[in-house]
Amino acid sequence: MSAFLIGEAMTGGYGGADILHSCTIAVEKGEIAVIVGPNGAGKSTAMKAVFGMLKLREGTVRLAGEDITSLSPQARVAKGMGFVPQTSNIFPSMTVEENLEMGAFIRTDDFSTTMEQVYELFPILRDKRRQAAGELSGGQRQQVAVGRALMTQPSVLMLDEPTAGVSPIVMDELFDRIIEIARTGISILMVEQNARQALEIADKGYVLVQGANRYTDTGQALLADPDVRKSFLGG
Amino acid sequence: MEPLNALVSVANFMLVPALAYGSQLALGALGITLIYSILRFAHFAHGDTMALGTAAVIGGTWFLQAQGIGIQPLPTALLALPFGILVMIGYLLTVDRMVYRYYRRVKAKPMIFVMASLGVMFVTNGITRLFMGVGETRFEDGGRFLFTVREFREWTGLAEGLALRSAQALTIITALVVMMVLFWFLNRTRAGKSMRAYSDNEDLALLSGINPERVVMITWIITAILLVLAGTLYGLDKGFRPFNYFQLLLPMFAAAILGGLGSPIGAIVGAYVVAFAEMGITYAWRRVFTYLMPEGLEPTSMMQLLPVDYKFAVTFAILVIVLLFRPTGIFKGKVL
């Protein structure tokens, strides 16, 4: 097992009972890994564990071979991990451009080219760059959130349900952008409610049930698997 | 000329003093709103900290006066401002380290912070009284008037006069400059933006690598500057009495809440509304109406809605009305 980012045999919870039980999540360089599963399966928890927002009792997290299990989330950002939380993932009263600037806060070099890349990826943000991010639509806010996380030039981008609460058209649009980001060599680790669509774009899929791995395979294989279809994709 | 006389009379006794008072309140309310949006609690020690800062400036003024240093015709206190600001920065950062930092670490509820700041208020008040006593201290020197009532009458030939005291002019100009610098800082600099980001979304600010302790420190430094300026200008204008500064707490909070807690522009607007309401409702309008009404219909009463002693009742009424009908304030701030 020498994936680019791997949370291996993770066991832990928010104090009290364990939520994750020897759960393993990994993503290769430039690939898209998707975590799906029923409500309460520990999808977001697994992602937070990989990002260090949850104390692990057992298991390790490694980034490019380096053990980062004991690092704080902030230190992991400095190591090249970007995280987009599911909610409150923007600075609502600040303009779009200021949101991106804050994303680049830890950078001391010139980040104007990165900002340009974000604007190329999400052209609508360029038009709205002087507008307060809180005034934008749900889909546009998600673009701001993803753009903010990209400003540190991460090697891994972690997205917690990026399409929650947006329309199906916007969802397809967002997935397209995510594929584009992955093509630039950034690994994507994503939790998704819309399992079918997410698995379609996934190189690797993880089906979690009650905090443990149930099925792990390529996205296409999971979509083709009759058991997975019946239990998790509604036939 | 009668309407003009009426206007000059209002300006002299109401508009100019209210503008100066509003500017002093605005500087104080800005501090309250900043602390509320960054440290997320209502800073009850604000008035008394302001008094202590002013006391430091007065001490500096006395020292300079003893040395024979001055900047005539401006008050010597202006020279002592940097000293007062430094003392206050030191004091506020020490208090933060000794009191508030612990509660931040244990993630205490806002109400605990408020109670802690109440304790800080009593201690600060005691320190101020130790140095200054409870009586009134006047420390305004230099030219007292830019122009007096008599000079104004001679220039214009009006029956009514208008005086502009140098303390008032200084207050209005300083407040304007400070507000502009503050807005520039918050909107254009990296440190200012990180403060707004922290105020907007604490968790995301942490994720973006913004150091909360640094943001808190900058907030206290800005608060110290605002407090010392507000306190000194108020003291130059009206004389220094610790109890008066404690009483300013109510109008300053009313201003911040009326404008919308957490909104700097709201704090400024709120401060002027409170100042003009306090002055307008307790002002005796008889003279103005004597000029404006046709002959024979002059008012016989004072035309004063409330005696001046009740000016805090006006502020309190504003506060209650805002909290009842629009708790987010004019500029949609946070709810206390």
Write down the ipTM of this complex: 0.89
pLDDT at A215 over 80: yes
| Average pLDDT value for residue range B105-123 | 96
| Average pLDDT value for residue range A140-163 | 95
CB atoms within 10 A of CB A170: 17
| Average pLDDT value for residue range B39-56 | 96
Distance CA A16, CA B285 (A): 69
The tokens for A84 are: 């987009």
Q: Specify whether the CB–CB gap between B262 and B110 falls below 8 A.
A: no
**Cα B308 versus chain centre, distance:** 19
CA distance A166 to chain B (A): 21
CA distance B210 to chain A (A): 7
In terms of Cβ atoms closer than 10 Å to its own Cβ (0-12, 13-18, 19+), residue B180 is exposed
**What pLDDT is attached to residue B110?**
93
| pLDDT top residue among B336 and A10 | A10
* A90 contacts in chain B (CB < 8 Å): 201, 204
Q: How confident is the model at residue B143 (pLDDT cuts 50, 70, 90)?
A: confident
CA distance B244 to chain A (A): 36
Work out the widest C-alpha separation in chain B, in whole angstroms: 73
pLDDT at A118 over 70: yes
Measure CB to CB from residue A91 to each of B190, B200, B209 and give the nearest one.
B200
**What pLDDT is attached to residue B336?**
60
Tens digit of each residue's pLDDT (9 = 90 or more) over B79-109: 999 999 999 999 999 999 999 999 999 999 9
What does residue A24 show for φ and ψ, rounded to 5 degrees? -120, 125
CA distance A212 to chain B (A): 27
**What pLDDT is attached to residue B30?**
97
The tokens for B297 are: 């219909």
Q: Which residues pair with A62 in a beta bridge?
A: A6, A67
Sign of CA dihedral A125, B38, A108, B208: negative
Contact A74 B196 (CB under 8 A): no
Tens digit of each residue's pLDDT (9 = 90 or more) over B178-223: 999 999 999 999 999 999 999 999 999 999 999 999 999 999 999 9
Instruction: Report the share of chain B in percent with pLDDT over 70.
Output: 99
Tens digit of each residue's pLDDT (9 = 90 or more) over B304-317: 888 888 989 999 99
| Average pLDDT value for residue range A124-131 | 96
Distance CA B48, CA B41 (A): 17
* A144 contacts in chain B (CB < 8 Å): none
**What pLDDT is attached to residue B71?**
86
Distance CA A222, CA A235 (A): 12
pLDDT at A145 over 80: yes
Distance CA B196, CA B215 (A): 9
* A93 contacts in chain B (CB < 8 Å): 196, 199-200
Measure CB to CB from residue A92 to each of B190, B200, B205 and give the nearest one.
B200
Is the backbone peptide bond immediately before A92 cis, with ω within 30 degrees of 0?
no
pLDDT at B300 over 90: no
Where is average pLDDT lowest: A2-6, B15-19, B258-262?
A2-6
pLDDT at A1 over 60: no
| Average pLDDT value for residue range A146-157 | 96
**What pLDDT is attached to residue A222?**
93
Contact A77 B196 (CB under 8 A): no
The tokens for B178 are: 């400070």
**What pLDDT is attached to residue B141?**
86
Work out the widest C-alpha separation in chain A, in whole angstroms: 51
Task: Write down all domains in chain B, each with its CATH number in brackets.
Answer: 2-325 (1.10.3470)
Distance CA B41, CA B115 (A): 10
Q: Distances in Å between the alpha carbon of B204 and those of A87, B171, B194, B196, B208?
A: 10, 39, 11, 12, 6
Contact A91 B194 (CB under 8 A): no
| pLDDT top residue among B144 and A190 | A190
Residues 163-222 of A with CB under 8 A from B: none
CA distance B326 to chain A (A): 20
Tens digit of each residue's pLDDT (9 = 90 or more) over B236-272: 999 999 999 999 999 999 999 999 998 999 999 999 9
Torsion angle, CA of B6/B10/B16/B18, rounded to 10 degrees? -160
The tokens for B331 are: 């500029």
The tokens for B288 are: 């103005």
**Closest residue in B to A132 (Cα–Cα):** B200
Q: Specify whether the CB–CB gap between A71 and A63 falls below 8 A.
A: no
Q: How confident is the model at residue B53 (pLDDT cuts 50, 70, 90)?
A: very high
**Closest residue in B to A84 (Cα–Cα):** B204
**What pLDDT is attached to residue B335?**
65
Q: Specify whether the CB–CB gap between A61 and A50 falls below 8 A.
A: yes
Measure CB to CB from residue B207 to each of A74, A92, A93 and give the nearest one.
A74
Residue type, A124: I
Q: Which residues pair with A157 in a beta bridge?
A: A82, A188
**What pLDDT is attached to residue B1?**
58
Q: Which residues pair with A132 in a beta bridge?
A: A95
Q: Does B309 contact chain A (CB < 8 Å)?
A: no
Sign of CA dihedral B16, B21, B26, B27: positive
The tokens for B272 are: 């002027």
Q: Specify whether the CB–CB gap between A54 and A45 falls below 8 A.
A: yes
CA distance A89 to chain B (A): 6
* B207 contacts in chain A (CB < 8 Å): 73-74, 77, 83, 85
Residue A202, C-beta contacts closer than 8 angstroms, at least 6 positions apart: A32, A33, A34, A190, A218, A219, A222
Instruction: Report the share of chain B in percent with pLDDT over 90.
Output: 77
**Chain A interface test: which of B190, B208, B210 (most A C-beta within 10 Å):** B208
SS3 call for A221: helix
Q: Distances in Å between the alpha carbon of A42 and those of A79, A192, B190?
A: 25, 12, 38
Q: Does A105 contact chain B (CB < 8 Å)?
A: yes
CA nearest neighbour of A119 among A109, A129, A133 = A129
Q: Does A103 contact chain B (CB < 8 Å)?
A: yes
Distance CA B47, CA B28 (A): 8
Q: Give, to the nearest 10 degrees, the angle between helix B190-200 and helix A96-103.
A: 100
| Average pLDDT value for residue range A212-227 | 93
pLDDT at A205 over 90: yes
Q: How confident is the model at residue A235 (pLDDT cuts 50, 70, 90)?
A: low
Q: How confident is the model at residue B138 (pLDDT cuts 50, 70, 90)?
A: very high
Residue B200, C-beta contacts closer than 8 angstroms, at least 6 positions apart: A91, A92, A93, A94
Distance CA A13, CA A15 (A): 5
Tens digit of each residue's pLDDT (9 = 90 or more) over A45-78: 999 999 999 889 999 999 999 999 999 999 999 9
| Average pLDDT value for residue range A19-30 | 94
**What pLDDT is attached to residue B302?**
81
Sheet holding A156-160, edge to edge: A81-84, A156-160, A187-191, A32-36, A204-209, A212-217
pLDDT at B59 over 70: yes
pLDDT at B296 over 60: yes
**A-B Cβ pairs (cutoff 8 Å, strict):** 57
